[in-house]
C-alpha cells in the first residue's frame, strides 16, 4: 500500500506519503500567514482543524467503502478488514490480564497500516461536499 500512496493521494497531502515531507505543510502555513495582513485582499480567517482521536473513531465499514472506491481488489480489502476487525483487547490490572473484548471501530495505534488507511479515508472525506455524496461512499 505504501508504494503507491503518491498515486492515490492528492498533492497537498504530505503525511505518510513516500517522497513527500510533512514539513512542507509547515512552510506552506508560514507563507500563508506571511501575507495575511495585506490590505488589498478581501477579509479572511485562518482555520485549524484538529482530528482528535481520529484513529479511534474511524468506522470499519467506511474504511472498506473507501478502499472499494479507490478500486482495491476485493481480496485485498478482505485481508485489510480481517486485520482491523479481528483484534482483541484485554485490560491489565496489577499485572494480570482480565478478559478479552473485540473493538467496534477505529484503527490501532502502532499498526503499520493505520496511517495509510487513515490518509485514504481522510482524502475521500475531504472531497465530500454534500450529505448525499457521503452516502454514496
Which among 17-21, 31-35, 50-54, 64-68 has the top mean pLDDT? 64-68
Which residues does residue 101 pair with via DSSP β-bridges, in sequence order? 89
Among the ranges 66-70, 124-128, 133-137, which has the highest mean pLDDT value?
Answer: 66-70
Q: How do residues 45-60 score in pLDDT, each as one tens digit?
A: 777 776 667 788 889 9
Give the ranges where the chain is alpha helix by DSSP (H).
5-8, 23-34, 54-57, 60-69, 74-85, 114-126, 131-136
Q: What percent of the chain has pLDDT over 90?
A: 23
Residue 9, classified by CB atoms within 10 Å of its CB into exposed (0-12), middle (13-18) or buried (19+), is: buried
- Give the span between the Cα atoms of 46 and 69, in whole angstroms: 31
Residue 65 pLDDT: 94
Q: What is the per-residue pLDDT for 9?
A: 78
Mean pLDDT over residues 9-30, rounded? 78
Residue 111, pLDDT > 90, answer no
pLDDT at residue number 136: 64
Can you give the pLDDT at residue 72?
93
Q: What is the mean pLDDT of the chain?
A: 81
Amino acid at each position: 500500500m505504501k508504494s503507491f500512496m503518491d498515486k492515490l493521494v492528492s498533492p497537498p497531502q504530505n503525511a505518510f506519503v513516500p517522497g513527500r515531507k510533512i514539513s512542507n505543510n509547515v512552510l506552506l502555513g508560514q507563507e500563508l500567514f506571511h501575507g495575511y495582513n495585506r490590505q488589498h485582499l478581501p477579509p479572511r480567517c485562518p482555520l485549524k482543524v484538529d482530528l482528535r482521536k481520529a484513529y479511534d473513531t474511524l468506522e470499519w465499514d467506511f474504511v472498506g467503502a473507501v478502499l472499494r472506491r479507490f478500486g482495491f481488489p476485493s481480496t485485498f480489502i478482505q485481508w485489510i478488514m480481517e486485520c482491523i476487525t479481528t483484534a482483541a483487547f484485554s485490560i491489565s490490572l496489577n499485572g494480570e490480564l482480565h478478559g478479552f473484548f473485540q473493538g467496534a471501530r477505529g484503527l490501532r495505534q502502532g499498526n503499520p497500516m493505520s496511517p495509510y488507511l487513515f490518509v485514504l479515508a481522510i482524502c475521500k472525506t475531504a472531497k465530500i461536499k454534500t450529505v448525499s455524496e457521503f452516502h454514496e461512499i
